[in-house]
Structure 1
């Protein structure tokens, strides 16, 4: 697992020890950033089921200003800190050990909006549509922001969730990627 492009191109990232976390493959990560980027002129990202932090770190490497990393597993949090440090993104990152719902409620209180939100929950325990609904209800996405949902191909997501609509959808083996944005997005 490595950073594919940007300021940290080629940097190796540590994986979360054990089998509880499934990292996004480099091939899928590259495809995601080809769909939503590939580079950014600032902005804020949220990596909600961060695991090793690979998606958020890739966004930082490609020009996102700041990223909030959230995971509930202690081993994941330790790995995120190590990867952020090795890429010199400590000043651009916030890391929280929390579950997704509580993290989103804390973000609402801070009145933050994001240009990029990554939702990559464990495939068997997902509640992606409810999370996207919650994000829409509380208007956490910037005007031209996107939500990147990664999930197993055996699942299906709705075409429209509140004010968000599917902008792109691709499958890579057993992994599906759906990009959501606001109905009026310039994506």
Structure 2
């Protein structure tokens, strides 16, 4: 399956998608909604694409002006496809790929004291339904400086999850077919 970049410098370019049932591409209408929300906030942003798959979200962010994207995915087929997409568009200088579990990747990023303006979290639906993966991620975000003050976090999932958040505010949730897109914003101070 091929994905088309919707806007920015690479608008209309095709991306490869991994041939596996473990990943699923984010719907074009949902990607458009995210970048319509971000509009001018994407320019020069540091973007975290967690559970990146083909990298469509992060590459779309780069196409629209993000300065750097960190991609995280432990699936080897997805990572191989992601690398091909990045090479195809010659984006190597603007990307980092962490081919490991989300827990390991987030610990590495915290240790390096990296901070992101925007994070997009799209765990496999089966995994997020059976585990507390999203609570774990938000707990780490709450207790670290990984997301900058006023930073934005998007979550793509099938059902609304309730979070106990200290430093994030729920902004809104939108339904796209069987997918729910939730938006949170980090408070302006830690």
TM-score of the superposed pair, with normalisation by structure 1:
0.92
Q: 176, 186, 189: which one pairs with 1:172?
A: 176
- Mapped to 2, the partners of 1:35 and 1:27 lie a distance apart of 12
- Mapped to 1, the partners of 2:162 and 2:36 lie a distance apart of 23
- Mapped to 2, the partners of 1:119 and 1:95 lie a distance apart of 15
Q: Which runs of 4+ in 1 moved over 3 A?
A: none
Q: 160, 166, 184: which one pairs with 1:162?
A: 166
Q: Does 1:135 align with 2:141?
A: yes
Q: 15, 18, 23: which one pairs with 2:17?
A: 15
**How big is the alpha-carbon RMSD for the aligned residues of Structure 1 and Structure 2?**
1.5
1:71-118 Cα distance to aligned partner (Å, 9 max, x none):
001001101001111122111001121000100000011100001111
Deviation (angstroms), 1:13: 0.7
1:123-179 Cα distance to aligned partner (Å, 9 max, x none):
111121221121121121112210110001xx2223652210111210101000011
Q: 1:100 to 1:53 in 2, by over 3 A?
A: same
Deviation (angstroms), 1:61: 0.6
- Paired positions, count: 183
TM-score of the superposed pair, with normalisation by structure 2:
0.91
Equivalent in the alignment of 1:61:
63
Equivalent residues of 2:113, 2:145 under 8 A apart: no
Runs of 5+ unmatched residues, structure 1? none
- Mapped to 1, the partners of 2:46 and 2:185 lie a distance apart of 15
- Mapped to 1, the partners of 2:135 and 2:160 lie a distance apart of 10
Runs of 5+ unmatched residues, structure 2? none
Deviation (angstroms), 1:57: 0.4
